[in-house]
Chains A and B, each alone.
Chain A
Amino acid sequence: MTAPDLARHAQRLLAAHALADADPAPLAGLLARCAERKVATGQFLFQEGDPAGEIVFLLEGRVSVMKKDPEGADRQIGAWFAPAVVGGAAAVEGARRSASCVAGAPSLVAALPAADARELLGDPGPAGGELRFILLAAFTEALANTTQHLRDLLTGDQSTPAPDLERLLALLHGAKR
């Protein structure tokens, strides 16, 4: 990617995470350190159960989030649209992937190794600051959306249709309310 491309992607990522006024240069520098990948429709970014070895910045395109349903079949439970950070929680935790992500359209991603990300998250410098804020915003949004849907289920009309657990999973995995 060219420097203007990196700056543009950084600006979009910041704006999508409540940091529209932030300087894009530190995040553009971080993106330049990432492995850039073009992903074809249907290609997996990672699979459920894999070790979370990287944080994935979805710069262009969209990915579907898939999970095994109670019968063991793959079921789409959510989707991420660029710009977004995908699979950040597992990478921060050093956990395994809780879902699979597959490109739903031709996509462009930048992957930051999880070990580098964890070091950067402790760095007081500007790139560390922007990465922390983006992840904090992404995580709080996912939890807030899930909480609000749960609240709606619990406080709604008693005759409301059966609670939709798939919808809860979707909200936790990138769906917007």
Chain B
Amino acid sequence: MTEDPVAAARRQIAALGPVGWGGRALADADIDALLRAAPPAAIEAGAVLSREGEPADRAFFLVAGRLRASVSLGDQRAERDRTVNEIAAGEVTGEAALFLTGGRRTATLTAIEPSTVLVLRRDLFLPGAPNPAVVALQSHILAGLARRIERTDAQIVEAWRAAAGGTPSRGGLLALLGVTA
């Protein structure tokens, strides 16, 4: 049986805590406040959440299901698009929309199974709105980005040293895109 979207959202948000100096668990009221600001949305399998090249004005916290991120490789190529990442429940994707301005989507996001997301908008994250659940979500995003930067750096260096002045493979570049996109 599919989990109720609100219950799934509550469970994933609660799993982000604890936060703050005292390391306290998130209170129900904190979770409720986040859910009011970013209500859970059910997405059918196959539905597209955002398309590559569109203006980026929101991010998605996937609380249930699975998403696919794909990029177009151009019309002239035999392989026109390529899956570069799969997003699992508990992950945030499209976060550049929250912290940069004027950006565009670098990948198309498609649900590959029935999914539930919280749609996150920039104003939720501006300083001055100290909801501990939002703090926990920000910390979760921050840790994920820091890990991606470290991993990307390590992979580029590995490719750089392997190539040692030669040309890195196209497969190597696609693998890198899977980390950064």
Contacts and interface: CB of A to CB of B under 8 A. Distances in A.
Interface of A: 17-19, 22-23, 26, 67, 69-71, 88-90, 92-93, 95, 98-99, 119, 121-126, 128-130, 132-133, 135-137, 139-144, 146-148, 150-151, 153-155, 158, 162-163, 165-166, 168-169, 172-173
A89 B146 contact: yes
Interface string B69-106: 00111101000000000000000000110111101001
Interface in B7-44: 19-21, 23
Contacts of A146: 152, 180
B20 A165 contact: no
Determine which residue in A71, A95, A136 has the highest number of CB atoms from chain B within 10 A of its CB, and name it.
A136
Size class of the B contact interface (CB-based, 8 Å): 35 or more
Interface of B: 19-21, 23, 71-74, 76, 95-96, 98-101, 103, 106, 125-132, 135, 138-139, 141-143, 145-150, 152-154, 156-157, 159-161, 163-168, 170, 173-174, 176-177, 180-181
A169 B156 contact: yes
Chain A contact surface mostly: helix
A121 B146 CA distance: 13
Contact of B131 (A98, A124, A136): A124
Nearest to A136: B99
23 contacts: A89-B149, A98-B154, A98-B157, A122-B23, A129-B129, A136-B138, A139-B149, A141-B99, A142-B149, A143-B145, A143-B180, A147-B177, A150-B173, A150-B177, A151-B71, A151-B177, A155-B73, A155-B74, A162-B166, A163-B167, A163-B173, A165-B163, A173-B153
